[in-house]
């Protein structure tokens, strides 16, 4: 994940704590989604950024995940996200993140 992003996320996590924050992801690939998820939960897997070795444990969801989808107004979702979901590997992303959450 971009080092600038990691720095900002670290600052926000220190300020608001993991219970006050939700991270929403929009990455197009399973691998990129997994890297972002890992970075904000167990730490930067590339060990290059400010979150290397930092376990923030932030709750993180891809917008394609059912719990996020259920919260968004269906018309909004249909208008702005549905075609993106159809054109990307949405199922694989959802499964991968569920798998990582289950440990």
Residue found under tokens 């996020």: 68
Choose, by CB under 8 A, the member of 71, 95, 99, 101 that binds other proteins. Answer: 71
Contact 19, 65 (CB under 8 A): no
Chain position carrying tokens 């998820």: 37
Calpha distance 17→93 (Å, rounded): 26
State the binding string over 9-48 for other proteins (x if CB under 8 A, else -).
x--x---x---xxxxxxxxxx-xx--xx---x-----x-x
Taking the C-alpha atoms of residue 45 and residue 32, their distance in angstroms, rounded to an integer, is 12
Tell which one of 41, 43, 49, 61 touches other proteins (CB under 8 A): 61
Q: Could you list the residues that contact other proteins (CB under 8 A)?
A: 1-2, 4-5, 8-9, 12, 16, 20-29, 31-32, 35-36, 40, 46, 48, 58, 61, 63, 65-73, 76-77, 80-84, 86-88
């Amino acid at each position: 994940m971009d080092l600038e992003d990691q720095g900002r996320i670290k600052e926000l996590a220190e300020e608001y704590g993991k219970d006050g924050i939700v991270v929403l992801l929009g990455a197009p690939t399973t691998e990129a989604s997994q890297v972002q998820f890992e970075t904000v939960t167990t730490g930067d897997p590339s060990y290059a950024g400010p979150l290397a070795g930092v376990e923030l444990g932030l709750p993180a969801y891809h917008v394609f995940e059912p719990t996020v989808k259920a919260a968004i107004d269906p018309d909004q979702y249909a208008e702005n996200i549905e075609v993106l979901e159809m054109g990307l590997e949405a199922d694989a992303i959802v499964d991968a993140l569920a798998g990582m959450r289950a440990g």
